[in-house]
Chains A and B, each alone.
Chain A
Amino acid sequence: MTHERTGSEGLSLEESAGYDRRTLDYIQRAAATGLYEIRGLGAKRKVASFDDLVFLGASLSRYPLEGYREKCSTKTVLGTRHARKPVELATPITIAGMSFGALSARVKESLGRAATALGTSTTTGDGGMTVEERSSSKTLVYQCLPSRYGFNPDDVRKADAIEIVIGQGAKPGGGGMLLGQKVNPRVARMRTLPPGVDQRSASRHPDWTGPDDLVIKINELREITDWEKPIYVKVGATRVNHDVKLAIHAGADVIVVDGMQGGTAATQTVFIEHVGIPTLAALRQAVQAIDDLEMRGKVQLIISGGIRSGADVAKALAMGADAVAIGQGVLMALGCNSGSYVADGRHVSAIEDYRRLGTAPGFCHHCHTGKCPVGVTTQDPQLEQRLDPAVGAKRLTNYLKTLNMELTTIARACGKQDVHHLEREDLVALTVEAAAMANIPLAGTNWVPGS
């Protein structure tokens, strides 16, 4: 028997706030399976975010730039502290680390092509460097992860920068995870694993422990690369103040901070939703940590975790980030959660495939299954054909271009000739929570909670 809610039932069909339908579903699922849920993408809960900030455009007290005529630079340089060859990008919008394994080789190729077209960088992931992404990416950041899957000196030498991954916003303190259905023979070979194994990678690096060791590890990588390549250190956002300071002490050129809205290809839901802090709060703490050590302008900061739009990028830069990294937005530009995919220039419905996964476009987080209806997060030889690298590259180029235009639109409106000139004083907060986390005054007041 089903109950249709008509709104006139009164207390007879009152839903419990503590035991709502989502919670009931969770309890009953746990009771049925005895195992936690694993899923993809990032935190779904609502947290204070860049949406809760707005810009104070120029007016009488400030002088704006002409939107289409006056120059506004987006050039971004990363790794100026120790590296002989810093990374020079045409935009502060970079592509976040995502593994071959989580994504298909065709997707990695799309990312490389779009990044190259926009003059930005792309990043490997927990599965080594593929030929497709190296050859398609002008600037490629090579991750050194706890698992060290596929990590090798030839690829270290081919990389433009090295990113030591300590953690990830979706799961700070957790290692990678790739379920067996995505560990096809090529993925398995690159990771030195038996095909089809449910892979759980380590959460700690095998050859160093703690910040004092990290100093030595970073120096080893510098020695291997003759001090040529920038070394990034990526942390999942938790104790950001301490972690950023320790990473700077360890010698990092660039710090990457990934907030809790950051995505994953497969992680326990409890981890995604309950560990880590929002990107907004993490960014404020990271900038403060860099300022405390008087390293602004020497060490660069990349923020990631739920950056979706040009407005998000502009707000991140205004708060003190040097660049952003985007993962989920990039996948969505390729078609993630779209109702259709493009084949032979036509849109083909994928609704039935979503239905088979028990979901629908707009709600899908089934990256972990490898059965991505639009061919993005899959290793299935049929499904991966649904993403044509040329189409993917075009869509992603459009997306990144849009973000870059939005970013310069806001910067010009705030009177800046360079997007890196955006500053905290250009922002106000719309909610008390955002004001407190970002340390930015509530709109219409001079009030910053806690100060």
Chain B
Amino acid sequence: MEGVKQFDLAVTPLREVNRYLHHDVAASGVERVKILNADGAHSIAVGLNVPLDIEVDGHCGYYLGGMNQLARITVQGNAGPGVGENMMSGSIRVKGFASTAAGASAHGGLLAIQGDAALRCGISLKGGDIVVGGSVGSFSAFMAQAGRIVVCGDAGDGLGDSLYEAVIYVRGSVRSLGTDARFEPMQASDYEAVRELLDAAGFEHDPRDFKRVASAKSLYHWNVDANQEY
């Protein structure tokens, strides 16, 4: 099939596949790459910088799509820790579940997870968007600086601890908020944002069911009277 290239990780070493995606694919006319037998391999399709559709068949190990730019990656299975870490642009869609630190320090792009995401989802987020169809584990959005996280299910303990300017929208229950995180009333722009992100991720929910969590900004400046024993 023209414009489609297929790799089988049971046959081709990952290093070769990644090198092809970094260098050769750009001028090849290939628009879609299929990677078979992911079989839990780490660092699949990392460091891409080309607007390309990539489909990964199977479950992935750590750092799928790490530092992604422009590429649109879809994983048919589950994703290991740090999926889409430090992503800059493009999109990553996980059809299954995601492990810890999904979308860690992502600067841009969209990470859409159909199932649940484990601990520390969106940690140190720096501008990316994350939409989770299921629930997120504890300590999600820790120190998140910018960007948006939409959680269609529930959130665990310590949600949004030490948040900066990132905003979290949760549909279900929040077991507990982290230090300096607080619920805030939803504004028209929040409903719009949730609608836009749900549409982009392909999830159907009513934005009116979501709550907004953002920073109370009490940790932004040293405060002699602040309780430092948090």
* Nearest CB of A to B85, in Å: 5
Give residues of chain A (175-193) contacting chain B, Cβ–Cβ below 8 Å: 179-180, 191-193
Closest chain B residue, CB of each to CB of A202: B143
Interface pair B104/A206, CB less than 8 Å apart: yes
Give residues of chain B (118-132) contacting chain A, Cβ–Cβ below 8 Å: 120, 123-124, 126-127
Interface pair B47/A198, CB less than 8 Å apart: no
Interface pair B43/A216, CB less than 8 Å apart: yes
Interface presence of A431 (CB below 8 A) = no
Looking at the complex, which of A109-117, A149-157, A355-363, A370-378 is the stretch in contact with chain B?
A149-157
Interface pair B47/A216, CB less than 8 Å apart: no
Interface pair B145/A207, CB less than 8 Å apart: no
Contact digits for B124-160, partner A, Cβ 8 Å, 1 yes 0 no: 1011000000000000001101100000000000000
Q: Hey, which chain B residues are within 8 Å of A152, CB to CB?
A: 67, 86, 88, 107
Say whether, besides A153-B88, A220-B43, A207 and B101 are in contact (CB < 8 Å). yes
On chain A, which size bracket covers the interface?
20 to 34
Interface pair B22/A226, CB less than 8 Å apart: yes
Give residues of chain B (206-230) contacting chain A, Cβ–Cβ below 8 Å: 219-222, 224-225
Chain A interface main SS type: loop
Interface presence of A224 (CB below 8 A) = yes
Say whether, besides A35-B222, A148-B124, A220-B63, A197 and B18 are in contact (CB < 8 Å). no
Say whether, besides A33-B224, A194-B220, A226-B19, A151 and B81 are in contact (CB < 8 Å). no
Q: Hey, which chain A residues are within 8 Å of B69, CB to CB?
A: 153-154
* Nearest CB of A to B216, in Å: 14
Q: Hey, which chain B residues are within 8 Å of A223, CB to CB?
A: 14-15, 18, 43, 46-47
Interface pair B62/A206, CB less than 8 Å apart: no
Interface pair B61/A216, CB less than 8 Å apart: yes
- From A34, A180, A208, A224, give the contact of B46 (CB < 8 A): A224
Interface presence of B97 (CB below 8 A) = no
Give residues of chain A (7-66) contacting chain B, Cβ–Cβ below 8 Å: 33-35
Complex-state Cα separation, A35 to B227, whole angstroms: 11
Say whether, besides A34-B224, A180-B221, A202 and B124 are in contact (CB < 8 Å). yes
Interface pair A192/B107, CB less than 8 Å apart: yes
Interface pair B164/A197, CB less than 8 Å apart: yes
Complex-state Cα separation, A200 to B145, whole angstroms: 12
Complex-state Cα separation, A191 to B105, whole angstroms: 11
* Nearest CB of A to B59, in Å: 15
Interface presence of A80 (CB below 8 A) = no
Interface presence of A219 (CB below 8 A) = yes
- From A34, A154, A216, A226, give the contact of B63 (CB < 8 A): A216
Interface pair B86/A148, CB less than 8 Å apart: yes
Interface presence of A417 (CB below 8 A) = no
Interface presence of B55 (CB below 8 A) = no
Give residues of chain B (173-230) contacting chain A, Cβ–Cβ below 8 Å: 219-222, 224-225
Interface pair B124/A147, CB less than 8 Å apart: yes
Complex-state Cα separation, A147 to B224, whole angstroms: 25
Name 6 interchain pairs, CB-CB below 8 A, sorted by A: A148-B126, A153-B67, A192-B164, A206-B85, A220-B46, A220-B63
A-contacting residues of B (Cβ < 8 Å)? 14-15, 18-19, 22-23, 42-43, 46-47, 49, 61-63, 66-67, 69, 81-82, 85-86, 88, 101, 104-105, 107, 120, 123-124, 126-127, 142-143, 145-146, 164-165, 219-222, 224-225
List 9 extra interface pairs beyond A192-B164, A202-B143, CB under 8 A. A152-B86, A152-B107, A194-B220, A202-B124, A206-B85, A208-B62, A216-B43, A220-B46, A220-B66
